[in-house]
Amino acid sequence: MNRVLALIISVCVLAGSVIAPMSGTVPADSPPQPGTRADAPLMIIKNITHDYTWGTNYTFIYIMIDLWVEADVTLTIEPGTVVKFDPGTSLHVRGGIIADGFPSQNITFMPFIMPAAPMDWEGITLENATDPCVFDNVNITFSSGGIACWGTDAVITNSSISSTQFYGVLCGMNSAPLVRNNFINAAEWTGIICENRSDPDIRNNRIELCYYGIVCYDVAEITANRIENCLFGIVGWGNSTISANEIIHCRDGIHAFYASPIIEDNVIMYCTGNGTRFFHSNATVRNNRLAYNFVGMDINYESRSILDNMDNNLVNGIDITECYRVGEKDTVIDGLFIDSGWSGGYSGSINAQGSITLYDCENVTVRNSTVLNSMNSFFVSNSTFTIYNSNLSNAVISQINLDQNATGIGFNNSVDPDQVRIGGINCLFQTFDDLKVMVLDYYHRPLQNATVVVEESHLELYNVTTGLDGLTSNMVVKDRTVSDAGVIYSPLDVYVYAENYSFDPNPQTGVYVSQEDLIIFTDRGDVFPPSVVSYSITNGDRSFPVNGTITFTFSEPMNRTSVEAAFSFTANVTVTFVWNEDNTSVTFVPSQLTHSTYYTLTLSTGAMDLWDNSIEDPLAISFTTVQAPGASSGTIMGVAIAILVIAGISGFLALRMVKSKYK
């Protein structure tokens, strides 16, 4: 019985020694003999504590744990080797790693489970490595992060890192890796990130489809990289050197925030946002070429000092410094033409501010200029300015953008107040234009010495007279005011005063000089009623000669027909009318008047002047003609006899009444 049991145990041991290599559970430090190849993967289930090599002797290397290469130990990975990681596992190197592939035999780091997705494994981390760390011609896919260097000066070259959750390469504190000639694709956060106290050399990499292409928080050499289709190309939070990079089809090209990097010799094209953007930055910017970006450069007020550090930066073929003026006083800009480079076939705006941007300027005058195709035609911060006779067209945001203590004045319809944007406190813009007034008589002839008064809200602005040509001198008047309260209109009231002339309407109200720069008043003609100035008879005259005439004098020439029709007598008397030469006086010559006869002569309101204006009130004059010759004594005698007769009769009647009383 004991012999049988011993035989069974021996068979089981022998079977186990045969089955173990077939199952793939080969210890990490028990590789197959040289010149042989295992038909199963090499399963890694413990840390690497002495120098070790992974090669193509196995179908792949299967990492089943968070694997550590201990300090002073070097892991060597041969070309063509495939390393697969269980979910949540990673490779940490405290010693060294030499992953040196060939262009035709890359070394691949990838998830074990397929199909794969970002974060299927954690990535490779180098932590204060004691030995050299080299990655050349390697592929890293579907990890949380690609290669992270902490306190390690690794060499990462000619490699591909794709579909990572956070980063392709992380240059951590106290590291100075060399990152060259790599292709980093589809890192959901950033292709390459350089942390504080890192000093990497990042050259000739191609980075695509990342949220950030390269982010640098400290010094770094970022040179000759090509970054495409990222949200942000390069973000500089530190004083790095960013040179000779090509950034294409990103949203924004290069950002410099709270730092002073050197940005030179870069090409930035076809960005849908800003080519470059500076915020609280004092960067040195020179020899860069930007074209076809929605906005070329964004240099905000806090970054205005970088304009002193700029040289030969062309945006759409235009030197960007032509757009910015800082600290200028009493400057005149005359005859400027700027069109964002569109005339050269480019598209997009030169900058995010204005084709003319004023920072800390005082009394800048712009005249006879043309500004086309801008984000803002003018961007003004903490400055005062005036615009004359200029054309501002096709601005994406506004013709005038005022920010923080900016005030301006526009003349001659140079600025549309509805195209003025208030972006900060204490901002004000007013539009003024030239106004002239012409005064004409009824026959459209110039009327000299007419008085013209211009008022705004009952405040007299001008009181002038017309010249020989019927025109006033030029009057500069306000049209509209723009503030944070909105657009306030300034309608004008214009009056004309000229004796014996009438204008309708007068005044002309609600005049906006931006709509009408010449106001014309034309006399309506004579609208004043005529009047009888005098007549040659006294009303109530009792001794008017029967062959007398009556003369009426009027205040102005009269319509003869209307006057003659308006006169009438109370008796049937034929009248002849005799007019003077200018029709201002008419004499009535009655054909026959009767002695001692009472007459009434009437002039009705039908009497009109030459403009068909009637007299306001009718006129009636009464008179009595003289007695006939010799009729005066007989009349007196008749009256005396009549009186005596009446007195005698009255006495007779009185006497009879007395007698009858005493009978």
pLDDT digits (tens, 9 = 90+) for 513-533: 878 889 999 998 888 899 999
Q: Answer yes or no: is pLDDT of 268 > 60.
A: yes
Task: Please name which of 91, 75, 99 lies closest in space to residue 126, comparing C-alpha atoms.
Answer: 91
pLDDT digits (tens, 9 = 90+) for 590-615: 888 889 889 998 999 999 988 889 99
Q: What is the DSSP letter of 74?
A: E
pLDDT at 654: 52
User: What gap in Å lies between CA 506 and CA 496, rounded to an integer?
Assistant: 7
pLDDT digits (tens, 9 = 90+) for 118-152: 899 999 999 999 999 999 999 999 999 999 999 99
pLDDT digits (tens, 9 = 90+) for 614-630: 999 999 999 999 998 87
Q: Which of 15-29, 185-199, 445-459, 578-592 has the lowest mean pLDDT?
A: 15-29
Q: What is residue 490's three-state secondary structure?
A: coil
Task: Please name which of 550, 546, 557 lies closest in space to residue 619, comparing C-alpha atoms.
Answer: 550
User: What gap in Å lies between CA 587 and CA 550, rounded to an integer?
Assistant: 6
Range among 460-474, 480-494, 640-654 with highest mean pLDDT value: 460-474
Position of tokens 């004008």? 492
Domains of the chain, earliest start first: 34-224 (2.160.20), 231-315 (no CATH), 430-522 (2.60.40.10), 532-625 (2.60.40.3710)
Q: Answer yes or no: is pLDDT of 651 > 80.
A: no
pLDDT at 396: 92
Q: Answer yes or no: is pLDDT of 1 > 80.
A: no
How far CA 637 is from CA of 97, 596, 633, in Å, comes to 166, 18, 6
The token pair that represents 121 in the structure block: 């494994």
Q: Answer yes or no: is pLDDT of 354 > 60.
A: yes
Q: Which of 355-359, 576-580, 609-613 has the lowest mean pLDDT?
A: 609-613
How many CB atoms are located within 10 Å of the residue 587 CB?
A: 16
Sequence-separated (6 or more) residues with CB below 8 Å from residue 53: 31, 75, 76, 77, 78
Q: Residue 38: pLDDT band by 50, 70, 90 thresholds?
A: low
pLDDT at 118: 87
Q: Are 379 and 401 in contact (CB under 8 A)?
A: yes
Task: Please name which of 124, 123, 108 lies closest in space to residue 61, comparing C-alpha atoms.
Answer: 108
Sort 329 into a burial class: Cβ within 10 Å, 0-12 / 13-18 / 19+. Answer: exposed
pLDDT at 131: 97
User: What gap in Å lies between CA 340 and CA 393, rounded to an integer?
Assistant: 12
pLDDT at 653: 56
Model confidence, pTM = 0.73
Neighbouring-strand partners of residue 625: 544
User: What gap in Å lies between CA 517 and CA 525, rounded to an integer?
Assistant: 25
Cis omega (within 30 of 0) for bond into 115: yes
Q: Answer yes or no: is pLDDT of 662 > 80.
A: no
pLDDT (mean) for 13-24: 34
pLDDT at 525: 83
Q: Answer yes or no: is pLDDT of 206 > 90.
A: yes
Q: What is residue 156's three-state secondary structure?
A: strand
Q: What is the DSSP letter of 105?
A: B
Q: Quote the mean pLDDT of the chain.
A: 89
Q: Answer yes or no: is pLDDT of 292 > 50.
A: yes
Sequence-separated (6 or more) residues with CB below 8 Å from residue 202: 171, 179, 180, 192, 194, 214, 220, 221, 222, 223, 225
pLDDT at 644: 53
pLDDT digits (tens, 9 = 90+) for 208-217: 999 999 999 9
User: What gap in Å lies between CA 571 and CA 625, rounded to an integer?
Assistant: 13
Q: Answer yes or no: is pLDDT of 36 > 70.
A: no
Q: Answer yes or no: is pLDDT of 68 > 90.
A: yes
Q: What is residue 588's three-state secondary structure?
A: strand
Q: Are 365 and 342 in contact (CB under 8 A)?
A: no
pLDDT (mean) for 55-65: 96
Position of tokens 């592939």? 101
User: What gap in Å lies between CA 508 and CA 492, rounded to an integer?
Assistant: 8
Specify the length of the chain in residues.
Answer: 663
Q: Which of 177-191, 229-243, 593-607 has the lowest mean pLDDT?
A: 593-607
pLDDT at 159: 98
Angle, vertex CA 558, rays to CA 555 and CA 561, nearest 5: 150
pLDDT at 16: 38
pLDDT at 302: 92
Q: Which of 48-57, 135-144, 284-293, 606-615 has the lowest mean pLDDT?
A: 606-615
**How far, in whole angstroms, is CA 492 from its chain's centroid?**
27
Q: Which of 24-33, 127-136, 142-151, 396-405 has the lowest mean pLDDT?
A: 24-33
Q: What is residue 175's three-state secondary structure?
A: coil
pLDDT at 25: 38
pLDDT digits (tens, 9 = 90+) for 522-575: 998 888 899 999 999 989 889 999 888 999 999 989 999 999 999 988 877 888
Position of tokens 């062309």? 314
User: What gap in Å lies between CA 386 and CA 330, rounded to an integer?
Assistant: 11
No. of H helices and E strands in the chain?
3, 66
pLDDT at 15: 36
Long-range contacts formed by 211-219: CB under 8 A, 24+ apart: 211/187, 213/247, 213/250, 214/190, 215/190, 216/240, 216/242, 216/261, 217/193, 218/194
| Percent helix, strand and coil across the chain, each to the nearest 5 | 10, 45, 45
Position of tokens 């007989």? 634
Q: Answer yes or no: is pLDDT of 448 > 60.
A: yes
The token pair that represents 559 in the structure block: 């319509």
Q: Are 433 and 514 in contact (CB under 8 A)?
A: yes
